[in-house]
Structures are given as C-alpha cells and as structure tokens.
A and B are shown apart, each in its own frame.
Chain A
Amino acid sequence: MSILVVLEPSGDGLKRTSYEAITAAVSCAAGAPVQGIIFDATESQVSSASIYGLSSCMIVHGPEWNQLQSSFIASAVAEAATSIDVTTVIFAANAYGKSIAPRVAVRLSAGLITDCVELQNNAGTLAAVRPVYSGKARVSVHSVTAKTVVTLRPNVFTAKQTVATSLSTSAFTPSIASDVRTASVTGHIINEGTLDVSEADIIVSGGRGLKGPEHFHLVENLAKSLGAAVGASRAVVDAGWRPHREQVGQTGKTVSPTMYVACGISGAVQHLAGMSTSKIIVAVNKDKDAPIFTVADYGIVGDVFEVLPKLATAISTVTGK
C-alpha cells in the first residue's frame, strides 16, 4: 500500500500528530516506503521523522505556505499524491487536516474517512474504524474507490520509534492553477499562557460540582500538579464560569488525552462524547451513581472540595510539580 502522509512542522521537529500519522502509515504500508509532504519546513525539522520510519519527504518551501490556505494546500497535496501515484493520503484530524483532507479527496476522486481510531491493511484495502453517534457506536468503513484519504483522531495512534531509516528529502514546487480561490489567514490570536485542551497530554476538567467559578482554583491546582490543561463541562461554560475554549464535549472540543480527570462532572452523554476515547479516565464525584464512573478507570467517591487538594498534594509528591 503506497501512502503519503501530510506532515506539520512544530519547534525543532514535527507535531506529535505527524509522528502518530507516520506510525499508523508504517504499520499499514506492509513494508512499502512511507512518503511525506510538508509545507514551509526545514530539512532538519523533517529529519526528526526518520526514527519513526518515514522514507522520504517532499518539502514545499516558502513562508507563504506556512498559513492555512486550504484550497492552495489541497491543490498541492493532490498534485504531489498524483505525481508519486499513492493510493492513500493520511492527515491528522486537527483543524489543518479537517480543512484540507476533504478538498484533497474531491481532487483525487478518493473515498474520505475522517477521525479514524483504527486503521488496518486488509489485503491491500485500507479498512478504518471510527466512532459515530457521539461515541455510542463504531463503524468499520472502507473506500470503494481506488484511492482513500483518511484523517486520524489525535492521540489515539501512539507514535512508535523504529530503527532509524535513511530519510531522503526533495523540494516540491506545486503549480497552483490561477483560478483556485482560497481563504487566507490575516492574523492569529493565540490563547496566551494556557495549554489548550485539544493539545494537552493530561486534562483536568471541572463541572457543576465545583459550585462556583471561585472554586476552580482546586481544579487548577490539581492540573498544575500534573502539568495538565484545565477543561470544563458544558454546564459551567454556559453558566459563564469558564471560557468556551475550555469546554470538552459535544458542543466543545473532542479530546483524547493520555489521562482525563473529571472533577464534579456527572458525565452526561454530551460530555462523554468529547472524552470517552481518553486512554485513562479518573473521576471524582460525590454521587456514586454518577454516569462518569461507568467510563472511569479510577474513581473516587467523595466531595471535590476535600478530595482535590489531597489528590493534588499526593500527586505532587510523585511528579515533583
């Protein structure tokens, strides 16, 4: 199976979701080389991917490519995929992948499967599993066309290092047709000083059990002991206690961290929809019958006002934070 992975630079290397996508591609490729494409990145950033099994990477140079101009990037990815004749294109299901993958699928006349949590190579056909109906069911999906475009839910596929391969890079210059119309980025507002729930490895969320915004320091302190981001339930966001960007759940963000700690959150279906694929779930709630305990790996039945400070202290002694 010939696979092209669309990568994103970050810091000295790539985004973690890019390493996850490479790992998923390597396991599906059945020995075939996995190729990448990346926009406005350096060879040194790309070279960090060799340890994950990437064989080669096309780099589209130029600062104009660093922005999310989805029509242009989709056109370039489709051109690259056609030029090297791959059957499968893989993206992360983040804002970047969600914007570009559907356009690439249209351009390549490919089947599109988004937000996958499992990928398999079934005798040359890519089969994917994805959650539907707020995670209450899962479907197995495959493409009925020659080509497939998939996006992978972040933090579900664990990036695995392999033996470092020799990674070759080449410059790729796309030819964007003059009639392609795109939206352009004119500015970027960054949420300063806060770790975003959609990018966090650990999330500590608070709900109505905190009884008021003035008690959220209990959640923040526990988050600090874990180096975690702070999340919130819909109830407390609607009540104006916390900003919408922190909301986890159906009308907020879908997250899949290594550990999710729910404090004073009952676990309505809408909340579970946003966090049920977390690797480890911890719940603190005074109601032993709260639905959150049915999805919890570890649960503490108790008052958040008493439990959270003790939990933060006990965790700090382990983490040193």
Chain B
Amino acid sequence: MNILVCISQVPDTTTKISVGPDGTTINSTGVKYILNPYDEFAIETGLRMKGQHGGTVTTITIGPETAKEVLRTALAMGSDTAVLVKDPSRSDSFVVASSIAEYAQESKPDLIVFGRQSIDFDSFQIPPMVAEMLGWPDIATVSSLNIDGTDVTAESDVEGGKLQMSASLPCVISAQKGLYDPRYPKLPDIMKAKSKPIEERALSTVSPRTAITAMSLPESKRLNTIVGDSDADINEIVRLLHEQAKVI
C-alpha cells in the first residue's frame, strides 16, 4: 500500500504573534516554526499502515524552503521519500489542496493521511477538498483505523460521540490525537535524514479563490472584574453573573 502523508510547518503555539508590514500576514521574524502537532499523528499512522501492509510512505508539504525541516523530521521518523511543493507566500487552501491533488494524480497513492487540522489557520478545509478533487471518500478526525484489503473501517470523532465509518481505498483520512502515539526519531535516523534527497515541485497554477484583506490582533473586551475568595466576594460574583452578565 502506497501512502501519502501531508504535513505542514506552523508557528509554535506559544509564539507571540504580531502583524507584518503588509497588514495581512504575520511578522515571521523571531517566530519559532514547528511540525504541526496533529501531523505527528498522521506520519505515525502512515508508518503503521506501511508496517501492516507494506508499500511506501511519501511525505509532502507545501511551503517555503525552510519547510524542509518538517520533511526531515518525517524522514527521520521513517518516511521513505519527501516532497516539497515550493510556495514562498502563503497560498489559500484551494491552491494548496490543488497542489496535493495534482501530485496524488501522478503518484497514485492508495491512502492519503492528514492531521486533523493545522494549528495556524485551523480551517479544516484541505482533506475533504483533496478527496473531492480526486473523487475519493474521506473520513475526518479518525481515532481508530483498520484497513483490510481495500476495506477501511474507522471511528470518527463527532460532537457527543463517535461515528463508525466504512469506506474503500483509495481514501483520504485525517488523524485525531490518540490514533497512534508518534514515535521519537532516533539520533542516527535524524543524522541520516539530513542528507536524504527532497524532491521539489512547483505550486499548482490554479488561481486562489479567497483573499485576506486585513489581519488584526483581537482586542480584549473582557470585564476583568477580579475579586478575592471571601464569602462576600463569591456572592458578589454570583450576583454579577445573574444581574450584570445575565448568564444564570
């Protein structure tokens, strides 16, 4: 089974965000970039499926030259090959999804694995878009996965529970936290990954379908009424919740 794992490089959650000079993107100076946390689950899932069914794991990312770092992590974890789709500016999800779908049309994987979401834009758009472009089924937020021949059964986390889903290969899935615990790459593998070749491709030539006109930092409109822990303080907070905020 040939598996394509799609990953992204994102700012570390604890990084302070400021708006860049263009007013529509972040100021990247001093920002620490990491492998999107959910993509660790996706890489591990790809490797486990290869372990069970044989085949190859290819990892792809769309981003600037520096995004090769996350591909090196995937290679160190055990991915066979890696592909960078070069995108110096941050393209919209349609361009990203098109680039992945075009690569998949050429390389014909049996399974495409994503992380549940990327924590930069949290858009939840790419996996179903890629699936629709390819005419494939997809199962989102997968917390349990079994593949038998071409039959895929999975549990998908939804509000209030889980859906038990079935589909057939080729198929797209997105990995939820808890599907498989990601392995830590070993030092010799990290060293070896540094010299492995990374295939480079051009971005899809499709035009973006959305445009960002402004980025801003949210203004806090919170009341910030902070009190101590005396009985009078607690009763006052309850009174405010009832009479001022009217939430109880």
When distances are taken between beta carbons in the complex, the residues of chain B under 8 Å from A162 are: none
B30 touches A (CB below 8 Å): no
Closest residue to B213 on the A side, CB-wise? Answer: A140
When distances are taken between beta carbons in the complex, the residues of chain A under 8 Å from B160 are: 190-191, 196, 198-199
Contact B224 A296 (CB under 8 A): yes
**Can you list, as one digit per residue, whether each of A95-117 has a CB less than 8 Å from chain B (1) or not (0)?**
11011111101110111111100
Contact B159 A111 (CB under 8 A): no
Number of interface residues of B (CB under 8 A): 87
B198 touches A (CB below 8 Å): no
Bound together, the chains give a CA A282 to CA B126 distance in angstroms of 35
When distances are taken between beta carbons in the complex, the residues of chain A under 8 Å from B242 are: 318
Q: Quick one: given A259-B245, A297-B245, A307-B234, are A139 and B38 in contact (CB under 8 Å)? A: no
Contact B227 A299 (CB under 8 A): yes
Contact B241 A139 (CB under 8 A): no
Contact B248 A187 (CB under 8 A): no
Contact B212 A140 (CB under 8 A): yes
Q: Quick one: given A251-B177, A315-B238, are A300 and B124 in contact (CB under 8 Å)? A: no
Number of interface residues of A (CB under 8 A): 95
A82 touches B (CB below 8 Å): no
Binds B, one of A22-30, A45-53, A127-135, A205-213: A127-135
**Can you list, as one digit per residue, whether each of A159-179 has a CB less than 8 Å from chain B (1) or not (0)?**
000000000000000000001
Closest residue to B247 on the A side, CB-wise? Answer: A259
**Can you list, as one digit per residue, whether each of B103-141 has a CB less than 8 Å from chain A (1) or not (0)?**
000000000000000011111111111011101111111
Bound together, the chains give a CA A139 to CA B92 distance in angstroms of 13
**Can you list, as one digit per residue, whether each of A69-102 has a CB less than 8 Å from chain B (1) or not (0)?**
0110010000000000000000001111011111
When distances are taken between beta carbons in the complex, the residues of chain B under 8 Å from A294 are: 220, 222, 224
**3 tightest Cβ-Cβ pairs between the two chains A and B:** A302-B229, A187-B164, A183-B167
Show the binding face of B for A, using Cβ within 8 Å: 11, 13-14, 16-17, 19, 24, 26, 37-38, 92-94, 97, 119-129, 131-133, 135-141, 152-153, 155-168, 171, 177-178, 207-218, 220, 222-229, 231, 233-235, 237-238, 240-242, 245, 247-248
Given contacts A111-B92, A132-B122, A251-B37, 13 further A-B contacts (CB under 8 A): A95-B158, A101-B128, A106-B132, A111-B210, A112-B125, A135-B218, A140-B215, A141-B211, A181-B135, A183-B166, A185-B164, A189-B161, A298-B227
Q: What would be 27 A-B contacts, judged by CB atoms less than 8 Å apart?
A: A98-B140, A102-B125, A105-B209, A115-B123, A133-B119, A134-B13, A141-B210, A141-B211, A142-B213, A181-B167, A183-B165, A186-B165, A199-B160, A244-B177, A245-B157, A250-B37, A254-B122, A259-B247, A282-B241, A295-B220, A298-B245, A300-B234, A301-B226, A301-B228, A306-B229, A318-B238, A318-B242
